[in-house]
Structure 1
Amino acid sequence: MKVFLAGQKAFGAAAFAMLRSSGCEVVGVSAPALREDGERHDRLRAAAEDAGVPWMRSGTLRAETLPAKTDLIVAAHSHDFIGRRTRMGTTFGAIGYHPSLLPRHRGRDAVRWTIHMKDPIAGGSVYWLSDKMDGGDIAAQDFVFISPGETVDSLWREKLFPLGLVLLDAAVRDIANGIIRRQPQTETYATWEPSWDRPPAERPELDLLGHLPAGTSVSRQAARAGRR
């Protein structure tokens, strides 16, 4: 199966290695050019270039830049909105990993809000990307308990990071074998929190979303859906 990977940092690089080890052909990668220190290449970009896989800068994936005959787009620690036209250019669509038990804690800082709200249980969800931020059908999901004294960093690195790789691997293998799991999210339980200290993500390809005017951001769309 031909997979395009959108992501960044250590999790993106780990997902890249996982996809290749599972027999997928990674036909392209989108990632930031540099790490946050501004001096070294982003880990996913570096992994792709070391393997000879084409790289493009985050934010530039569009239908016209998607490699031909891509079967599936996988988002792994990606903050890019992957538009409908781009998803329609694939065989199966696009899936992404979100470090929460969706529909709880939609938004870009799910782990931070999980700790801030003192949740006793956290989890991870692989879901089908859609026009609604973090609102697509669930493909795979599991939970973890939050230990006393858990921090944002420890919850992510020790629990939700490895869980995400397991869930992505399971979902990708299912799709490759023709098993398509789609469990709609229950909006009754949905919550959405704003980015902790970052600007809202912008959404390309809004011409296909007749109910949203050009320039509408993810945060505005989420607000319209109702914050709980």
Structure 2
Amino acid sequence: MRIVFIGQAPFGAEALNALGRHGEQIAGVITVPDSPQQRQANPVRLAAEEQGLPLLQTGRLKSPEAISWVENLAPDLLVLAFVTSFVPPEMITAARLGGINYHPSLLPKYRGGSAINWAVINGEQETGVTIHFIDEGVDTGPILLQRTVTIAPDDTVKSLYFGKLYPLGITMIGEAVRLLRSGEATATPQNESLASFQPVIRPADTIISWERSTAAIYNLIRGADPSPGATTCLNGTLLLLFDAAPATGQGLPGTVLTADDSSFTVATGDGALAIRTVRPAGAKKMAAGDYLAAGSLSIGARFTTPIIDPAGKPTC
């Protein structure tokens, strides 16, 4: 079965390498162009070159060049692993079996590009990986495979993705290709009555209102970690918060109750949260202890809620 692989990032490279180890026939690889700002070379390009595979680097899957490149390869299947742009219908129909995609949610719930973030923010206790056929919609095609994972109470987007959804996805892509190649695959249409779509998460979506419950704010911080961070204001300046944990304490919401070498505790609407990592505006992430040592925060200081400016960005 001739496969055209489309992907990017380390996940895409690992998926491509796994298909190679399984002996699948990769007719060609499409990935994004190398970025001058990247500290490391494009991992999918490196994986394709190491395997000696035909390679196309493009930022536009809809370009005539990309479509004709795939048509000339006459693939049986497109395999998508970490793809952030739409695959045009002409490219899908160029493959005998169409295309399959990795999506990190239990479709039809949490369609869209920030599925992991929103599942954590909304306090879900489980999520999973879905391998589905692609069509012209956003994560709307029939489901080929689906597996569930637990969202632990202390999971962040980072731990959930790299510890659970990433390795499971690599395994499931290989399994889905094997099922299609052997003729054992069955596809199940998605139940539209259960569908939900969440947009790509932005800083404006992660504003902290300290009057909310500890659980709600904790979920928001976990769901914005490692990016884009949960947004608050201190002394008229934006501050991003990461790496939190429920704590004991009570006070006026937003007030710093305690501080030590590793964290500071902030009052919520019904309790408190310990914050262990921050990112001041224009700076890199730093440990809460270092932020405190710099004299940037003191007990009794109060965080406030940012507002959204006309451009849709948080501001103090």
Same fold, TM exceeding 0.5? yes
Partners of 1:83 and 1:120 in 2: CA distance:
35
Structure 1 residues 93 and 43: alpha-carbon distance in aligned structure 2, compared to 1, 3 A threshold: same
- Which piece of structure 1 moves more, 25-34 or 80-89? 25-34
Match of 1:64 in 2: 68
In structure 1, list runs of 5 or more residues that go unmatched. 199-228
In structure 2, list runs of 5 or more residues that go unmatched. 204-316
Aligned residues: 198
Please list every run of at least 4 consecutive aligned residues from structure 1 whose deviation after the TM superposition is greater than 6 angstroms: none
Provide Cα deviations, 1:128-165, integer angstroms capped at 9, x if missing partner. Answer: 00011100000000100011110001100010001111
Task: Provide the secondary structure at the position in 1 that maps to 2:68.
Answer: coil
Match of 1:85 in 2: 90
**Residue 131 of structure 2 is aligned to residue 131 of structure 1:** no
The question of whether the paired residues in 1 share the 8 Å contact of 2:28 and 2:73 is answered with no
One-letter identity of the residue aligned with 1:128: F
Task: Provide the secondary structure at the position in 2 that maps to 1:192.
Answer: coil
Provide Cα deviations, 1:42-79, integer angstroms capped at 9, x if missing partner. Answer: 11111112222122224344431204221110000111
The question of whether the paired residues in 2 share the 8 Å contact of 1:34 and 1:40 is answered with no
Task: Provide the secondary structure at the position in 1 that maps to 2:38.
Answer: coil
1:23-34 map, 5 Å: 23-34=23-34
Partners of 2:149 and 2:36 in 1: CA distance:
29
Question: Which of the numbers 162, 184, 195 marks the counterpart of 2:189?
Answer: 184
Match of 1:150 in 2: 155
Match of 2:19 in 1: 19
One-letter identity of the residue aligned with 1:98: H
One-letter identity of the residue aligned with 2:54: P
Match of 1:202 in 2: none
Task: Provide the secondary structure at the position in 2 that maps to 1:104.
Answer: coil
Partners of 1:121 and 1:41 in 2: CA distance:
34
Partners of 1:31 and 1:50 in 2: CA distance:
15
Give percent identity, aligned residues only.
32
1:161-200 map, 5 Å: 161-197=166-202
The question of whether the paired residues in 2 share the 8 Å contact of 1:9 and 1:35 is answered with no
Match of 1:4 in 2: 4
Match of 1:38 in 2: 38
Structure 1 residues 185 and 48: alpha-carbon distance in aligned structure 2, compared to 1, 3 A threshold: same
Match of 1:49 in 2: 49
Provide Cα deviations, 1:19-63, integer angstroms capped at 9, x if missing partner. Answer: 111221112111122368424321111111222212222434443
Partners of 2:58 and 2:201 in 1: CA distance:
21
The question of whether the paired residues in 2 share the 8 Å contact of 1:29 and 1:54 is answered with yes
CA-based RMSD of the aligned residues comes to 1.7
Q: Which has the higher contact order (CA 8 A, sep 6+)?
A: 1
Partners of 2:190 and 2:58 in 1: CA distance:
28
Write 1 or 2 for the structure with the bigger share of strand.
2
Task: Provide the secondary structure at the position in 1 that maps to 2:73.
Answer: coil
Give the C-alpha shift of residue 8 in structure 1.
0.7
What's the TM-score once normalised by structure 1's chain length? 0.82
Partners of 2:36 and 2:98 in 1: CA distance:
30
Partners of 1:135 and 1:37 in 2: CA distance:
33
Partners of 1:155 and 1:57 in 2: CA distance:
30
The structure with the largest alpha-carbon Rg is 2
Match of 1:99 in 2: 104
What's the TM-score once normalised by structure 2's chain length? 0.60
One-letter identity of the residue aligned with 2:21: S
Match of 2:272 in 1: none
- Which piece of structure 1 moves more, 116-125 or 31-40? 31-40
Match of 1:208 in 2: none
Task: Provide the secondary structure at the position in 2 that maps to 1:115.
Answer: helix
One-letter identity of the residue aligned with 1:72: L
